[in-house]
A and B are shown apart, each in its own frame.
Chain A
């Protein structure tokens, strides 16, 4: 309490209140020195007592025994821990669910007048579609997320992912990378395709159509006189980098059978650089996933036990046999297995990033905590919310660890990041400072009713 007061005191002159929020936002200070802190430099790399210096949004120095520059705002963080800001690889916050809409005629080139429905818009950019309201940004920051990967929920070709910093400022200044990947999901349209099998055929045909458009365009470039007039279909144009293999594809895959299906589809398309997005039943397909060697963005939107592959049978006989067949014990065993998903995948050698995709991002820390509780090591958890998502977003050199030259995306906590009792007190997004009190975190004090689990680990 004393320390917090000191921190606040040091800031009084800089603090302003952003209209419409309860939160205090500091004006961007150019230089900070966080001294006497425990520093989680990278997963498995801890400095027990050291200093982080950042200037103009970049980390200038980190280590024990580093002197704070004279022009720095100095925060004494004795007893506090500094983490790299979390990276949520695939958040759909601020991106509305993409419904069916009109499909197209027969997987053929656009018939003309009717444009594609919302499910079929591979040209759409998530960073543009993202509702970048203060409320959304604040939700992300409060959750400890300093970089957000934006991925559309639903759709078939819903669009392209991108990454943004969660700080304040014009949209353009917050975008870190776009586009990052082409999203492919298996939603339906109200026209063709209306089924999963139709979606699969549509995707494959779109790849073929794009290849053909590329051939004709190339021929027209080199020899227009003897070439057919090229067509420029926005859907196919958007797919070109993915078809060429210069842009990775993020395939929606949650259920056990989805992984098999996607692996087969990827092979048919000739796509080798891809990521599974969802992965909730990955623990039922570890051998396949380990063999494929593709990363999985594991959603912490844990499935309902009675929806998990194989459990349908129990629920099928329950009306006859009585509830005891699909009993609580079996449900909780399934629930445990789904929470152990991340740990099981890591044990199998699968590279994972953890994500709130499908769930509420404000619960991100507690969702990660349940994965840890189910067996994921703290280091692996940290890796899955920092370095691995940084790499999957193509930003491995810029974010994810506390290293010289990287963006000053930092969290200051009063304990283990994934402990229920721990509060995030400061979030720095590219050096922009955001302060939180336990109250503003929506948490009660440590003896309050929301205290679910004990002690540190």
Chain B
């Protein structure tokens, strides 16, 4: 049995339901884990050197051997990687795919008590697999100053809900700054109008709520010291206390340099730090401050001027932030871009001259660090999860496409067997001709 995610389904741990329950009738549902070896591929390990004609062996869901002269054990399914490129499964640090019945609890501006619910049969999961993605960070939307807690999933397409969660992943909460928050306060029916409606209101909201949380924390401390009636448990304030304690990591939606600086000041005043700034299109203006604060950055490859607060976006953002020591990832924030994160990463080489490996890190190890799962995934190393993407060409080649995507040693996407668009169109054309 897999270990359980920290935030979910404690109830189910005791009763052993994580073994394969009935899978939904989706396409390509793998049934059993198998031992698998990919041989003779160019292995992009991320943390080590590139291995030409390399072999990677996965047993019981984990990588057991990586190298050039690896003997493949008997009984292991062998996949020929000749002429192909093998890299760690891609990790999307920012997605809203596969979320069930609501991305924004936008009725109020501070809702860290809510937890993103996963829809395990969202076709986007399969589409992401076709783009080599094996893990994704599903965040609350950006309507709220302090939104809800994320779900971190592995793309175990066809599996029941309880098997979708990334075991051992930390709790993460979404913060948001700027236009989306203020717009969600004003461009809504009267019944949903709320505070704040300006950037200064956002800062005040943060400070007011964390001050509340300090009082809540003090109330519990007093109760522990002096007894009396056990205080009311407030899930919202409790989450804010956990944020201040560093038990819930903060990922903050942001665009402008001024608000980025503001949030770091607020966090430091309340004794915590922002783990990762999301979007952070003006991060290049404050890259050193980000590095000093210890914040990571997860950004778009470009997206210049797609909204007012993105007018100063430049494609060099990733490279500049990385050059100042910020751990940078590039994310999709889209059910479409999630299929081609490798192309997004390549932008870092074109604009700003990132090294090939630094660009690859932006869709593998760096997002893994940002969502706190770098010990399990993000590179091809012995002991890590068997999450792999096999490409027909180098992932930065314009003609690159994913041939096979493997999660925990299980092949969840195999282009040879998949109902790809190409095949479906061919069927349709043939059928139409027959008419």
Among A200, A285, A324, the most chain B Cβ lie within 10 Å of the Cβ of: A285
Choose from B105, B234, B431 the contact partner of A205 (Cβ within 8 Å).
B234
Determine the chain B residues whose CB is within 8 A of the CB of A330 once the complex forms.
Answer: 25
* A205 x B235 contact (CB < 8 A): yes
Q: Does A171 contact B (CB under 8 A)?
A: no
Q: A205-B113, A260-B12, A325-B419 are in contact. Are A193 and B21 (CB under 8 A)?
A: no
Q: Mark B1-32, 1 if CB is under 8 A from A, else 0.
A: 00000001111100111011111111100000
* A286 x B108 contact (CB < 8 A): no
Q: Does B70 contact A (CB under 8 A)?
A: no
Choose from A107, A108, A266, A283 the contact partner of B22 (Cβ within 8 Å).
A283
Q: A106-B236, A107-B113, A320-B425 are in contact. Are A313 and B229 (CB under 8 A)?
A: no
Determine the chain B residues whose CB is within 8 A of the CB of A257 once the complex forms.
Answer: 100, 118-120, 160-161
Q: Does A170 contact B (CB under 8 A)?
A: no
* B107 x A321 contact (CB < 8 A): no
Interface residues of B in 96-142 (CB under 8 A from A): 100-108, 110-111, 113-123, 126, 140
Determine the chain A residues whose CB is within 8 A of the CB of B89 once the complex forms.
Answer: none
Determine the chain B residues whose CB is within 8 A of the CB of A317 once the complex forms.
Answer: 123, 419, 421, 424
Nearest-neighbour CB distance to chain B for A204, whole angstroms, equals 6
Determine the chain B residues whose CB is within 8 A of the CB of A105 once the complex forms.
Answer: 108
Q: Tell me if A's interface is mostly helix, strand, loop or mixed.
A: helix
Q: Does A363 contact B (CB under 8 A)?
A: no
Q: Tell me if B's interface is mostly helix, strand, loop or mixed.
A: loop
Determine the chain B residues whose CB is within 8 A of the CB of A310 once the complex forms.
Answer: 23-26, 121, 158
Determine the chain B residues whose CB is within 8 A of the CB of A308 once the complex forms.
Answer: 24-25
* B102 x A197 contact (CB < 8 A): yes
Q: How large is the interface on B (under 10, 10 to 19, 20 to 34, 35 or more residues)?
A: 35 or more
Bound CA–CA A312/B120 (angstroms):
11
Determine the chain A residues whose CB is within 8 A of the CB of B307 once the complex forms.
Answer: none
Q: Does A123 contact B (CB under 8 A)?
A: no
Bound CA–CA A288/B16 (angstroms):
9
Q: Mark A303-342, 1 if CB is under 8 A from B, else 0.
A: 0000011111110110011101100001001100100000
* B120 x A264 contact (CB < 8 A): no
* B11 x A267 contact (CB < 8 A): yes
Bound CA–CA A191/B158 (angstroms):
34
* B236 x A107 contact (CB < 8 A): yes
Q: A107-B113, A191-B191, A288-B160 are in contact. Are A313 and B235 (CB under 8 A)?
A: no
* A325 x B235 contact (CB < 8 A): no
Bound CA–CA A51/B230 (angstroms):
62
Query: Across the two chains, which residue of chain A brings its CB closest to B25?
Result: A310
* B16 x A291 contact (CB < 8 A): yes
Q: Does A16 contact B (CB under 8 A)?
A: no
Determine the chain A residues whose CB is within 8 A of the CB of B22 once the complex forms.
Answer: 256, 283-287
Q: Does A228 contact B (CB under 8 A)?
A: yes
Bound CA–CA A333/B118 (angstroms):
26
Query: Across the two chains, which residue of chain B brings its CB closest to A262?
Result: B11
* A309 x B24 contact (CB < 8 A): yes
Determine the chain A residues whose CB is within 8 A of the CB of B108 once the complex forms.
Answer: 105-106, 192
* B27 x A314 contact (CB < 8 A): yes
Interface residues of A in 266-301 (CB under 8 A from B): 266-268, 283-288, 291-292
Determine the chain A residues whose CB is within 8 A of the CB of B419 once the complex forms.
Answer: 317, 321, 325
Nearest-neighbour CB distance to chain A for B403, whole angstroms, equals 20
Choose from A108, A227, A312 the contact partner of B229 (Cβ within 8 Å).
A227
| 17 interchain pairs, CB-CB under 8 A | A103-B107, A107-B236, A194-B107, A197-B116, A208-B233, A212-B232, A227-B229, A256-B161, A260-B160, A263-B12, A283-B22, A285-B160, A286-B22, A288-B160, A291-B15, A311-B25, A320-B425
Residues of A within 8 A of B (CB): 102-103, 105-108, 186, 188, 190-198, 200-201, 204-205, 208-209, 211-212, 215-216, 219, 227-228, 256-257, 260-261, 263-264, 266-268, 283-288, 291-292, 308-314, 316-317, 320-322, 324-325, 330, 333-334, 337
The 9 closest A-B pairs by CB, nearest first: A195-B102, A310-B24, A267-B11, A321-B424, A196-B101, A212-B232, A257-B161, A192-B107, A310-B26
9 additional A-B pairs beyond A208-B235, A287-B19, A312-B122, beta carbons within 8 Å, are A106-B236, A201-B114, A201-B235, A204-B113, A227-B229, A310-B24, A312-B123, A320-B425, A322-B428
